[in-house]
Structure formats: C-alpha cells, structure tokens
Amino acid sequence: MPRLVIDDLQIEVPEGTKVIEAAERLGIMIPRFCYHKALGSAGACRMCAVKFIHGPFKGLQMSCMIDAQDGMVVSTTDEEAVAFRRQVIEWLMMNHPHDCPVCDEGGQCLLQDETVSGGHGLRRYPGRKRTYHDQYLGEFIAHEMNRCIHCYRCSRFYQDFAGYRDLGPMQIANRVYFGRFRDGPLESPFAGNLVDICPTGVYTDRSSRYKARRWDLQRVPFLCIHCSLGCSTVASARYREVVRIEARFNESVNGHFICDRGRFAYPYANLADRPRRARVDGEDASLAEAVRAASGRLDQISMNAGPDAVALVASDRCSLETLAVLKRISREKGWRHPAVFPRPDLEHKTRRAVSRLDRRLAVSMRELESADFILAVGIDPVHEAPMLALALRQAFREDAGIVVMDPRPVSAPFDFDHVAIAPAEIGGCLSRITEALSALQADSAAQGKETRRPEAAGPLRADLDSRIAGIVERLRGSRNPVIVCGTDIVRDSTPDRAADLARLLLQLKARPCLFFVLPGPNSFGAVLLAESPGRSFSDVVQDIEQGKVKALLVVESDPFKNFPDRERLERALDRLDLLAAMDYLPTSVVGRAHIVLPTCTVFECGGSFINQEGRVQRVEPVHEGGIPVHQVSGGGHPPRVFSHEVPGGEIEAAWRTALEVAGYTNARDNLSILKIMAEEHPGFARCRDIPTSRSFRVLPDAGDRPPVCEETGDRAAPEAADTLEVVLVDRFFGTEELSGYSPVIQNADSEPLVFLHVRDAEPLGIAHSDWISIALEGGGLEVRAGVSAQMAEGVLVIPRHRLLEWQKLGPVPAQIPFGRISRAGKE
C-alpha cells in the first residue's frame, strides 16, 4: 500500500490508485474533465496537472495518469500547477461558444465551474471560434458540438464502457468531432448517461429541454421503479412537475449509470390526463366523499355477501407501505388478500425465487461485475433488466465468459454463447448441469478422476449435450461463477433448479453466485407480504365469474395491461357490483371504475421498494404534489390570487387512502405506517431504525431447502411438430407499464416485432419485417415479423407491447398451429 503526501496531508491508498483519486480521498478535488471513476484516465484534458515535489516523478504531471507510489510528495496548489491549469482553461474556452444562457447544462456545468474557479473571465484571444454541425441523435439527447472540449468521456463511455459502436470520435487535432457517421437515433439503451457524463453541454436531455436550472430544482435521492433492479437516481421537480432524472452513484446496485428507460420514463407523473379528482359513479367528488362512498359500499357488500366477496388487486409497482396496508386491512376486514401478480405462474416463480435466495447466495449487481463466468438463463438482459446488461458488459470486459440460455434472439453489448432453446428445455438443462457438476465433484472427491462426461438425460439434442458439457467445464474452471435467472418466460420449476445449481456452486467455490431477475420493482416485497399460497389476478377473475366476488378494489394496478384475455376481463368486470380503482395513471380500469380514488406517484409520496436481491430501498417525496403549474395556468402565467390550497393537492399516498377506505382514520401518519410494516413482516422492523438514505437487505441467513416434492406442474414442450410455442416477453420500451405513458418514450419506441426462427418462417414464406397475421378465436393480430437464426426453433416470441393488442387474442394458447400464421397483404 503506497503512502504519499498530498498538500501536506498523508494518505495510504491501495496499489494502482491514481494520484487524483488519492487526493479525492483526502477531500482535495483536483480539477478534471476527462477523468471519471468509471471510465478511468485518458490524459486528454490536461486539467488535473499538479506539481510532484519528491518521489519517483518530478515536476508538473497529470495526476490522473500517475499511480500513487511510496514517498511521493505532491502539491496541488503549487504556483506553477495553478498557472498551468489556468492556462488550460483559457485554451479550452477559446472555442467554447457564448451560449450559456440557452444551454441546459448552465448551472450544473463542470466547465462553467472550473472556468469561474480558475478566474478566467475575459477572452483575450481575438480570433474566430471553431464551429461544427450538430446531429439528430434521437428523441432523448440534443447535440450541440460547438460546446465540446474534447475530453473523450462520451466515446469512452459509449464504446468502451457500454459497448455500442455508433457514436465516436472523428477527425484529428483541433477538429475532433464526436457523433455518429450520419444523423439518427443512438442505438444504445444507455445513451442517456451521455448527459450526465459530458462535462459541458454537448449532450443535453431533450425531455427536460429548457425547463429549469439546477439551482431551482427540488432534488431528492431517488429510486428507479421501472424494473426489478432498483437503480439509484436523483429526481428533480420544479413547479410541481418532475423535470429530470439523473443517475446517482450506488456502490452496490447500479454504479454510476442508469438506463434510458429509468431516465426518460418520468413524464407519466406529469400527464395532463392523470386522475386528479375523485369520482363517484362518473361524477366528480371530493376525495373525502369518494372515500366515504367506497367505504360504505364495500362494507355493505361484505355485510350482504360476506367479506369474502370483496377482493383486492394490487401490483408490483405498489410501494411496500401500500402492500403492507392492503395486507393488514384484508386480514382485519376478512376481505380477500390482495392479488398482486397477473398470472399464477409468475406468482409461483417469484415466490420460489425469493424463498431460495439467502445471504450467502445473493449477488448484488456490482458484485456481478467481478464474476469470471456467468450463466444467464431465461433472460434477455437488455429488455428485462437493462442495467444487468451493463453489469454483464463490465464482467465481459474483465474477460468473464457469458452464456445466455434463452429462446429469444438475444442481443447484448457483449460477446456471449447463446444456447437458444425453448423455455421448456431450460430447466432440464440446468438440472443436467447440476447433476454433472455434482457427479464430477463426487468423483474427484472419491477417486481424483475428472474425466466423467455428463450423461444425456432425456430426449435433448446432441449438440446441446456438448454445449452443456462445455458449460459444466467452464463452471468448474471458474473462480467466481454466477447464475443469473429470469422469472418471466421460464417454467415454474426453473428458479428452483437455478437455485439448486447455485447452492452446489456455493459449496464448490464458497462465493455468492445467484442473481434472480423478478417481474417488477416490488415483486420481492409482494411475495414477502403475500399469504401462502398466493393468489393471482386470474384466480380473482375466475371467482368473479362464479359470482363469489362482488366488489373489487384495484390499487395501482391495471389488469387490462397484463390479463391475457381482454373480452373475458371486460365481461367479468361488468358483473361486479362495485369496481373501485385507486391509481395515479389514466388506466382502462380507472376509466370504467364506479369509484375512482386518485393517488400520488412515488415522486409525491415516496415509498419503499425491495429490489430483486432483497434490498429494501426507501425514498422521500420529491415534491408535495398537486397539478403542475403550467397545467393549472394553461401555459400562461399562474393565478395571481394567493391561495392556501394547492390545486390537486388533496390526493394522498395509496396506503393512506386505503387505510381511510378501511375505516382507520387515526393510523395515517408516518410512524404508524412503519409500525404496520414491521407487524406485517418482521424483516421491515429495521425501517424504523435505519435512516431513509440507507438500504438494507431482507434476506434470511439460509434460504429454503429445495422442495421435497420435485414434481411441479410445468407445461411440457410442444409435442406436435406443426405448432409454435407462444412466448410472451418484455421489451426495453413499450411493455413496462409506467414508461409506456411517457410521450418521449412513445416517440422513441420502434415498431414491435414478433420473432420466429428462420426455419419456422421459411415454409410459411415469411421474410424479415414482413407483415404477418396470426388468426385466433379472439380475433386476428396483424404485426411485423422478425425472422432470426439466433433463436430457438418452434417458438413464437410476442412482446407484450402497448401498441400490439396481444390481449385481444383471447386466451393466448400455449401453442399456435402453423396454419394460423400467414403473410398478410399489408405493406
């Protein structure tokens, strides 16, 4: 550990630490533009010059390029260094345009800060400024190349860190240009990070273009709820409107960056058609009146038809507070326990995944980056958990081997071996890997032999056998393997089988090695709070049809989005005596509900969420709620008369309104909710002791044993050769509920494609991007086909896209005969 002196302060740092980093640990911020902790050093900007007084280096050197070494004495305030840095700033400003007033970076600009702190105020150079043409880089990012100072951060992030190739440097010397070869949307789903990473205003956020200055914003450390990973963000609001989301550094979750879905999904909170007024039977009402109406009618129905006739529906975007309150009131009122998951299989898989995860097994996303072999099963990282793809990319950059076992045409910013097999085969493959590995282990323990090949079990293909053998070998040879397992498309038993393999690896390697991806931001919490066995929404629909359920209270959930049979759902909802909806989105359920109780988004009331590794993360509200000022005023100036009441400000968090509906009027403060949470699950008791800014994991020391009975009701692989198995999947944009409401994401989204394998498409005469029609009982679906050779055969991959009315298909069958799929005449 080298020990060095910086500005008369001594510090000991790990080997390989740069001097600039060592100084930062002492609290000395050496000015920099090109150096970034995640991207490393480039030595491009010359801004971090310091004077080396003693030690192996002497004189003026770039502190980002030199490793801290023993005996160094460094001065950051030496006259020569200060003069040099002042000179550098003046050079950088030679070509920088005079446009700070109309630049969105103004007020949060590193170049601005360092120009001011360097004391450079007047331009001495009389020559002309260099200019560039700008490019259209898509709906998310505005490009203004005149402002560039050539620090190379953008290309280093975009190409090296994130692994996409379509943005980079061109030209030489003073003419270097950062952009694409020609105009067009950036291909990377992480491109939004260019906004954060650019030290000046070359890349700015188009979604918040010209909306506010940093110093005016209400900024709060926040949490992303657009997938199960729970990345850290900073949310900013102004005039009751959320205007910007930025990435926040989190050591154990997302590192420095976030994905574009997390960054640009926020406009759902600002929608003009968000439910802001309570409604009773189509008439506007005050929140108190609507709560009274809901409360009265629910009580009436539970009195007449029994409390069992009232069912609660929630979703995995509900906060932990809401879920805990719903559990409490359903228990005390005798109502049906909230159904959180749309399908029973999703509920089952999430439950299995959560119960098998424990402290020794769970890997955080940052730990994943240091794995040397990763087996990802049943997951398309970019689409289901985008930041996972970036984490895998970092592992890949450190030479980790990655195998993805998935039927979809997976594309990711790293090289991987794609084992394209149908969902039904994944579990079998995992079991065989586990068996082979444990057999090898037993052999080598008994006789020191390591030559036994895994035996082919079952009717799987021969090439698959060799690939499985390869995976077993690589698992054996790796120091730190990790199993990543999705829960969306896999069969019911697959999470268990992944956990079995992870347990074995834990025995062999003594390192945590299991990473699940769950269906939604709070799926983990929903399962912790669920009764066992849990009920899904499809059970509720069945009970409505049988007349057992008369009233439905839908809390922050849109069954229309997820329920696979729209007509059946509509018929069922029409049978209800009471449909009450609590939501902050203008969903279809809100549109048809008898009683609408608007609620706050997480930006307005905060909340707790548990991510896929069991990490409880809590956030405070960003602003107090209410209708955004520019919506109240219709774009003009706000009302001139002062009022104590905020328009739309009576809306409360879902858990408060739910408590009120249930008749608990005196338990609605923040302390009582912590108490309720702790009572509903002992793991949440720590919420009371730990400040909101800190997260903690609710994981048992040892997870469930493997289930005694291995027999699960897995759906078998399609037997008949003339059918395709339907796999409904998530997509980066368009399938996640909240981001689907964001206009900027709607504009940026591309057309959804239904994928099938080349060998399945050829006999049907379907080529890539042809229109096809899929005929079913519930009607037809016309959609563009994607034809790929990089996917499993016998599978039809349909995204649950907002524009694709897959719910209209009727009860989506597991299999579709080839005869039902044909080329459509549409062009």
165 lies in the site for other proteins, by CB under 8 A: no
Task: Determine the interface stretch with other proteins among 125-133, 269-277, 344-352, 787-795 (rule: CB under 8 A).
Answer: 125-133
Q: Give dist(CA 229, CA 387) in Å, integer.
A: 8
Task: Please measure the distance between the N-terminal and C-terminal CA atoms of the chain and give it in whole angstroms.
Answer: 67
C-beta atoms surrounding 599 within 10 Å: 25
Of 97, 168, 221, 810, the residue at the interface with other proteins (CB under 8 A) is: 97
Contact 516, 276 (CB under 8 A): no
Q: Give dist(CA 110, CA 199) in Å, integer.
A: 5
Task: Determine the interface stretch with other proteins among 92-100, 388-396, 564-572, 617-625 (rule: CB under 8 A).
Answer: 92-100
Q: Which helix (H) or strand (E) holds 814?
A: none
For residue 51, give the nearest of 11, 82, 81 by alpha carbon.
Answer: 81
Q: Give dist(CA 799, CA 813) in Å, integer.
A: 15
In the complex, the smallest distance separating the C-beta of residue 272 from other proteins, rounded to whole angstroms, is 15
CB nearer to other proteins: give 132 or 655. 132
For residue 19, give the nearest of 30, 736, 485 by alpha carbon.
Answer: 30
Contact 285, 523 (CB under 8 A): no
Give the per-residue contact string, 21-40, with other proteins (x = CB under 8 A; - = no).
--------------------
Of 130, 292, 343, 697, the residue at the interface with other proteins (CB under 8 A) is: 130
Of 37, 133, 397, 461, the residue at the interface with other proteins (CB under 8 A) is: 133
CB nearer to other proteins: give 159 or 523. 159
Sorted by sequence, the CB contacts under 8 Å of residue 431 that are 6+ apart come out as 457, 497, 500
In the complex, the smallest distance separating the C-beta of residue 630 from other proteins, rounded to whole angstroms, is 6
Task: Determine the interface stretch with other proteins among 45-53, 195-203, 211-219, 258-266 (rule: CB under 8 A).
Answer: 211-219
Alpha helices in 417-511 (DSSP H): 423-447, 462-477, 494-509
210 lies in the site for other proteins, by CB under 8 A: yes
Alpha helices in 334-415 (DSSP H): 344-356, 365-368, 381-384, 386-397
Task: Determine the interface stretch with other proteins among 127-135, 320-328, 724-732, 813-821 (rule: CB under 8 A).
Answer: 127-135
Within 177-196, which residues bind other proteins (CB under 8 A)? 177, 179
DSSP labels, 615-628 = EEEEE--SS--SS-
CB nearer to other proteins: give 1 or 173. 173
213 lies in the site for other proteins, by CB under 8 A: yes
107 lies in the site for other proteins, by CB under 8 A: yes
331 lies in the site for other proteins, by CB under 8 A: no
Task: Determine the interface stretch with other proteins among 41-49, 96-104, 745-753, 762-770 (rule: CB under 8 A).
Answer: 96-104
CB nearer to other proteins: give 477 or 639. 639
100 lies in the site for other proteins, by CB under 8 A: yes
Tokens of 178: 């950062």
CB nearer to other proteins: give 150 or 535. 150
CB nearer to other proteins: give 148 or 361. 148
Q: Across-strand partners of 75? A: 51
In the complex, the smallest distance separating the C-beta of residue 212 from other proteins, rounded to whole angstroms, is 7
Give the per-residue contact string, 138-157, with other proteins (x = CB under 8 A; - = no).
------x-x-----------
216 lies in the site for other proteins, by CB under 8 A: yes
754 to 341, 446, 486, 788, 821: CA distances (angstroms): 24, 51, 20, 10, 11
805 lies in the site for other proteins, by CB under 8 A: no
For residue 197, give the nearest of 36, 31, 21, 42 by alpha carbon.
Answer: 36
Burial class (CB in 10 A: 0-12, 13-18, 19+), 211: middle
User: Which region holds residue 43: left if phi is over 0, alpha if psi is between -120 and 50, else beta?
Assistant: left
Task: Determine the interface stretch with other proteins among 40-48, 79-87, 171-179, 439-447 (rule: CB under 8 A).
Answer: 171-179
Of 10, 77, 117, 131, the residue at the interface with other proteins (CB under 8 A) is: 131
Tokens of 722: 């003339």
Contact 609, 525 (CB under 8 A): yes
CB nearer to other proteins: give 101 or 691. 101
124 lies in the site for other proteins, by CB under 8 A: no
Task: Determine the interface stretch with other proteins among 93-101, 583-591, 745-753, 767-775 (rule: CB under 8 A).
Answer: 93-101
239 lies in the site for other proteins, by CB under 8 A: yes
Give the per-residue contact string, 395-424, with other proteins (x = CB under 8 A; - = no).
------------------------------
Contacts within 8 Å (CB) and 24+ apart, 660-664: 660/291, 660/295, 661/291, 661/294, 661/295, 661/298, 661/329, 661/553, 661/580, 661/597, 662/295, 662/329, 662/332, 662/333, 663/295, 663/299, 664/329
Characterize the bridge pairing of strands 232-238 and 218-223. antiparallel
Within 440-499, which residues bind other proteins (CB under 8 A)? none
Residue with tokens 């920088």: 96
CB nearer to other proteins: give 16 or 636. 636
Burial string for 544-578 (b: 16+ CB within 10 Å, else e) reads beeeebbbbbbbbbbbbbbbbbbebbeebbeebbb
Task: Determine the interface stretch with other proteins among 99-107, 258-266, 580-588, 619-627 (rule: CB under 8 A).
Answer: 99-107
Of 165, 175, 397, 694, the residue at the interface with other proteins (CB under 8 A) is: 175
101 lies in the site for other proteins, by CB under 8 A: yes
CB nearer to other proteins: give 448 or 635. 635
For residue 244, give the nearest of 269, 225, 226 by alpha carbon.
Answer: 269
CB nearer to other proteins: give 26 or 145. 145
CB nearer to other proteins: give 129 or 331. 129
In the complex, the smallest distance separating the C-beta of residue 246 from other proteins, rounded to whole angstroms, is 18
CB nearer to other proteins: give 166 or 473. 166
CB nearer to other proteins: give 102 or 510. 102
In the complex, the smallest distance separating the C-beta of residue 733 from other proteins, rounded to whole angstroms, is 23
Backbone angles phi, psi at 374, to 5 degrees: -125, 125
CB nearer to other proteins: give 15 or 215. 215
Contact 804, 749 (CB under 8 A): no
Within 619-658, which residues bind other proteins (CB under 8 A)? 629-630, 633, 635-638, 640-641
Three-state secondary structure call for residue 453:
coil
Residue count at the site for other proteins (CB under 8 A)? 39
Sorted by sequence, the CB contacts under 8 Å of residue 405 that are 6+ apart come out as 375, 376, 377, 378, 419, 421, 426, 429
Q: Give dist(CA 136, CA 332) in Å, integer.
A: 57
In the complex, the smallest distance separating the C-beta of residue 824 from other proteins, rounded to whole angstroms, is 38
Sorted by sequence, the CB contacts under 8 Å of residue 257 that are 6+ apart come out as 38, 161, 162, 190, 193, 196, 247, 387, 390
Backbone angles phi, psi at 475, to 5 degrees: -60, -40
763 lies in the site for other proteins, by CB under 8 A: no
215 lies in the site for other proteins, by CB under 8 A: yes
Give the per-residue contact string, 578-617, with other proteins (x = CB under 8 A; - = no).
----------------------------------------
Characterize the bridge pairing of strands 771-776 and 753-757. unpaired
Task: Determine the interface stretch with other proteins among 35-43, 98-106, 340-348, 442-450 (rule: CB under 8 A).
Answer: 98-106
**Using CB under 8 A as the criterion, which residues of the chain lie in contact with other proteins when the complex forms?**
97-102, 106-107, 128-134, 144, 146, 170-171, 175, 177, 179, 209-213, 215-216, 239, 629-630, 633, 635-638, 640-641
